[in-house]
Amino acid sequence: AKDGSASTLALTPLGDGVKDGFGRDLMYAEDKERGFKTTVAAGIQVIWEEAAGKYYFFNQETGARSWSALDEALGPKGQAPPQDAQQPSADGAAGDKEPFDVFKPSTYGNITMDDVKKYGTGGTLAYVITELVFWAVAVPTECAIFYQTAGRWPDFDNDVDKAAVLGFVFAASNIARLCLPLRFGAALALAPWVNEKIVNRFQGKPAEPTES
């Protein structure tokens, strides 16, 4: 993978053992200035579209393009769109983007941190809570995996044990990146409750009455 235009995008290999469903090595792409981060397969270009104000993904071998790095159209057998629709445009992005629906996993990839931030402090706090819950579950799970593998709990005074657990942590972080749209979706679903039950109370606002 490589950046097609923006120098603010950084690409980091995730390791030889981390591959997508087509067996291609995965890269971690991040643009801190634009609040963008995702995983993308090696060989896929990540290109900034100024008109749309977002990145799109381009498979140079097949000519396929997509707004989502997880789109199967970017796979080895993907096909280029018609000539008059090859380049993603701002109008196309707005028209094709289906609103988030918790019951439609296909819409999770449309969620960005900007959607979460629309809820203000409540949205940001909801995302923090979602991340804490994710890692609160992930870390004990990694220790349990070590126990199942070695038959004992890890000894953090032992460098070998620490290296093994860190390996599990690295694997979990890769999964976390792949699950980023799901985590955004959870934060988006949680944001109204956080606003009502936490933020409004700290700001001294009365809770809105619920209909019975």
User: Are both 72 and 24 inside the same structural domain?
Assistant: yes
For residue 163, tell me if it sits in a domain.
yes
User: Alpha-carbon distance 106 to 102, whole Å?
Assistant: 9
Predicted TM-score (pTM) of the model is 0.39
Share of the chain above pLDDT 90, in %: 0
Question: Looking at residues 32-43, what average pLDDT do you find?
Answer: 84
Question: Looking at residues 15-20, what average pLDDT do you find?
Answer: 74
User: Are both 85 and 30 inside the same structural domain?
Assistant: yes
Per-chain mean pLDDT for the chain: 72
pLDDT given at position 63: 84
Nearest to 148 by CA among 164, 160, 125: 164
Contacts of 29 (CB under 8 A, 6+ apart): 1, 3, 9, 10, 11, 36, 37, 38, 39, 40, 46, 55, 69
User: Are both 41 and 121 inside the same structural domain?
Assistant: no
Question: In the structure, what pLDDT confidence band is assigned to residue 5 with cuts at 50, 70 and 90?
Answer: very low
User: Alpha-carbon distance 146 to 156, whole Å?
Assistant: 12
* pLDDT at 56 exceeding the cut of 80: yes
Nearest to 134 by CA among 172, 92, 86: 172
Q: Which of 81-85, 98-102, 159-163, 189-193 has the lowest mean pLDDT?
A: 81-85
User: Alpha-carbon distance 58 to 112, whole Å?
Assistant: 20
Q: What one-character DSSP code corresponds to residue 118?
A: T
Helix (H) / strand (E) containing 66 = strand 65-66
Question: Looking at residues 142-157, what average pLDDT do you find?
Answer: 82
Q: What is the pLDDT of residues 96-149, one digit of tens each?
A: 556 555 556 566 556 666 766 777 888 888 888 887 887 777 778 878 887 888
User: Alpha-carbon distance 159 to 64, whole Å?
Assistant: 46
User: Are both 84 and 127 inside the same structural domain?
Assistant: no
Of residues 89 and 162, more confidently modeled: 162
Of residues 74 and 107, more confidently modeled: 74
Residue 197: give the domain boundaries: 116-202
User: Alpha-carbon distance 150 to 174, whole Å?
Assistant: 23
Of residues 61 and 167, more confidently modeled: 61
For residue 178, tell me if it sits in a domain.
yes
For residue 152, tell me if it sits in a domain.
yes
Q: Which ranges in 76-158 belong to alpha helices (H)?
A: 90-96, 113-117, 121-150
Share of the chain above pLDDT 70, in %: 64
Q: Which of 43-52, 70-79, 95-104, 162-171 has the lowest mean pLDDT?
A: 95-104
For residue 101, tell me if it sits in a domain.
no
User: Are both 47 and 124 inside the same structural domain?
Assistant: no
* pLDDT at 41 exceeding the cut of 80: yes
Q: What is the pLDDT of residues 82-99, one digit of tens each?
A: 554 445 544 444 445 565
User: Are both 10 and 86 inside the same structural domain?
Assistant: yes
Number of domains in the chain: 2
User: Are both 11 and 81 inside the same structural domain?
Assistant: yes
3-state helix, strand, coil in the chain (%, to 5): 45, 15, 35
Q: How far apart are the first and last CA of the chain?
A: 53
Unique residue bearing structure tokens 């918790």:
102
